[in-house]
Structures are given as structure tokens and as C-alpha cells.
């Protein structure tokens, strides 16, 4: 009998974290699409990586004053999975895009999810999270 160990990236893609979101966490310029950046942000939430969440959030909407609260909340829940539902534009040659997703987590109340249609903008070759559409 063999036991299969799940070794996929928290973002839901079959690659390992090191071959997937870690590359984008090292440099947001490695995100070729808005969806890749969004997936890397979900993974950053699973790792409570507040620095990356701030760095990947567009400067015009970046919630620096909320960084500690975001980290505390991200650590307080059990992240379960990410479902990407839809996207518009956000490809390599685009400057804007949206990604609709559901991010599932468990807290003291049970299984919850965040359903969001996120807006992204590309500036100087890097994608950034702008906010909710």
C-alpha cells in the first residue's frame, strides 16, 4: 500500500510551492498574468506573509496600517483551497485584468469562504492587486 502525499502549491496548481508561487514571492515580476499574481497572494495568505501581501498590493490602495491585523487573521484560520471562477484580460500583454475566485478557510464558526472579483493592474512590467471590482 502506498500513501500519496499532496505536494502541490497551496494555490491549487499541481506544481510544488518552490516551482510555483515561491518564484513570484521572490519577485512579483515573475507573475506573467493577473491570475498568477492572485494565486500567489492566496498562497501568501496561507503563509501569513504580510510583507508580500503589501508588496503585491498596488500603492494607491495598499492597506499598510492593516498589515498586522491581516497577518493575525491569516494565522487564525485554516486555509483549505482556492477556486478560480473566471478572469477577464490580465494576460501577459494586458495592463489590466480581473480574477473572480472563492478562497475557502475554516475558522471557529466552521467552513467559510471569500468570494471576490479582484481587479489587477500592470505597471512597469509587474502585476499588482488593485482591489475589488
% of the chain beyond a pLDDT of 90: 94
69 within some domain = yes
- In a domain, residue 15? The reply is no
Closest CA relative to residue 82, chosen from 8, 6, 10: 10
- What are phi and psi for residue 62, nearest 5 degrees? -65, 125
Cell of 98: 480581473
Q: Which of 40, 105, 107, 46 is nearest to 71 (CA)?
A: 46
96 is a domain residue:
yes
In a domain, 125, yes or no: yes
Domain count across the chain: 1
Whether the Cβ atoms of residue 28 and residue 128 lie closer than 8 Å to each other: yes
Q: Is the pLDDT of residue 3 over 90?
A: no
Residue 5 belongs to a domain: no
74 found inside a domain? yes
- Provide the residue range defining the domain that includes 64: 21-132
Question: The CATH number of the domain where 100 resides is what?
Answer: 3.10.450.50
Give the tens place of pLDDT for each residue, 42-99: 999 999 999 999 999 999 999 999 999 999 999 999 999 999 999 999 999 999 999 9
6 pLDDT tier (thresholds 50, 70, 90): low
**Residue at 27 is within a domain:** yes
In terms of pTM, does the model score above 0.75? Answer: yes
The residue ranking higher by pLDDT, 3 or 119, is: 119
Residues 17-45: tens digit of each pLDDT? 999 999 999 999 999 999 999 999 999 99
Q: Is 7 a member of any domain?
A: no
Amino acid at each position: 500500500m502506498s500513501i500519496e502525499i499532496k505536494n502541490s502549491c497551496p494555490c491549487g496548481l499541481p506544481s510544488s510551492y518552490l516551482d510555483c508561487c515561491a518564484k513570484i514571492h521572490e519577485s512579483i515580476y515573475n507573475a506573467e498574468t493577473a491570475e498568477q499574481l492572485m494565486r500567489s497572494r492566496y498562497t501568501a495568505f496561507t503563509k501569513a506573509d504580510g510583507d508580500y501581501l503589501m508588496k503585491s498590493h498596488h500603492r494607491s490602495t495598499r492597506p499598510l496600517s492593516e498589515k498586522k491585523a491581516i497577518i493575525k487573521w491569516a494565522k487564525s484560520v485554516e486555509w483549505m483551497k482556492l477556486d478560480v471562477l473566471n478572469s477577464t484580460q490580465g494576460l501577459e500583454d494586458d495592463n489590466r485584468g480581473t480574477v473572480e475566485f472563492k478562497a475557502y478557510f475554516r475558522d471557529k464558526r466552521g467552513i467559510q469562504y471569500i468570494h471576490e472579483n479582484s481587479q489587477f493592474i500592470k505597471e512597469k512590467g509587474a502585476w499588482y492587486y488593485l482591489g475589488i471590482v
